[in-house]
Homo-oligomer: A and B are copies of this chain.
Amino acid sequence: MNISPAKLLLLGYTSYILLGWALLSLPLMQAVPVAAIDNLFIATSAVSTTGLVTVDPGTSYSFAGELVILLLIQIGGLGYMTLGTFIVLSVTDSLGRVRKEATRNVFNLPEDVRPGYFVRSVVLFTLLVETAGALALYPMFVAAEVPDPVWSAIFHSISAFATAGFSLNSDSFMGFRDHVGVNFVLSALSILGAMGFLIVVDVLRGLTGRTSHLGFTSKVIVRITMLFLLVGTLLFFVIEPSVQALPPPERLMASFFQVMTASTTVGFNTHPISTLSFATLIVLFFLMIVGASPAGTGGGLKTTSFAALVGLVRSTLKGRDRIRFFKREIPLKRLQNAAASLSYYLVLTAVALFLLALTEADVAFEVLLFEVWSAMGTVGLSMGLTGELSDLGKIIVIVLMTAGRVGILTFGIALAAHDESREEEKENDLVT
């Protein structure tokens, strides 16, 4: 096995995308003729669980086409872990410690989690949650006279838990802004998917008595997720002019949902994103860049990388020798990965924005920036650009969605030539 885990992961996703593209290109999958580039875009958006769409999935594809999209979403969300764990299992018996470590790093598995147990927990948990979600959505969709309520409930439950944000409604969930039940179920599914399976494993181990409390990483994930949702909702509620006319409870729910959708990277919306003020956009930008949690279905730099960088900044500002977060030391390797991820993320942002500025004429700067970060974070929200993209623009967004799903850093590792040179070189004092 000469191929690195990162390359294997990128190849895996690419082959799912190509398979999806081939299937969606069949005439029987389409309700109206769809261009080849749009089928590729939709396949990539589904496998990457992004949810950006150049054509409306609900009206462009047949039931068979929608089923293919849903399977691609499930592969992208759950299958990420399945594929990942398959690799972990396949190398556990035959490979050395260094490569096992590398694989664990790619899939963010802590040392004490057994891959086999992890896979079984993930599959069981996903099926349970998705079934519960569909059962909860069904009666509400019937009452709201949604077409094909059974299919719609299944589709949106899976799309929410996989933080894919694909919707059969052409206006996402804007018709449900004041619907408490739908808001609650979609949010619960998205937050569970975004917090990731580490939490699930931790909770399961707690229930079976193997540990009495959440692990450190799980605690960090839960606290940061809750903090972001709380502070984000408050900020949105206070500063966003376009929700000020709503009755306070609906205003609060709209604030929460839009913050939740950016933070979990699910990408459904109940309020038009293109009307948001710049100050609110900056809050959403921040949430989309940080994104969801590791070993989950969401995208972004991940809450744990954010925690590592906060620890780095605070420790550096306070003149500490050790980098800490919540009074625990963060290992150097984790810090290096977080800092490299951030730097590489910014480079990709600059290159993508530069290219999109050249290919898309007369589009406002914040709209371009929103599209780039939405794709890189596999969020799927848009200020309206996606449907207007040029073919070159679509290709740029396709690359960004793929990079976002594989993981920004893993994407870079997959593309880079591996260098095993470890020769000792003279330490040198580079002034920074």
Contacts and interface: CB of A to CB of B under 8 A. Distances in A.
A357 B319 contact: no
A430 B319 CA distance: 21
Interface stretch (A87-95, A150-158, A310-318): A310-318
A422 B322 contact: yes
Tell me the dominant secondary structure on chain A's binding face.
Answer: helix
Contact of A342 (B324, B332, B343, B419): B343
A430 B328 contact: yes
A425 B328 contact: yes
Contact of A294 (B302, B327, B432): B432
Interface residues on A, range: 35 or more
A331 interface: yes
Interface stretch (A128-136, A363-371, A386-394): A363-371
A277 B110 contact: no
Given A312-B343, A343-B342, A357-B278, A216 B430 contact: yes
21 contacts: A216-B429, A217-B430, A281-B365, A282-B350, A283-B354, A295-B431, A307-B430, A313-B340, A313-B412, A316-B340, A317-B409, A317-B413, A317-B415, A322-B425, A328-B430, A330-B430, A331-B428, A334-B429, A334-B431, A335-B336, A339-B339
A304 interface: yes
A148 interface: no
B354 A336 contact: no
A266 to B, nearest CB: 21
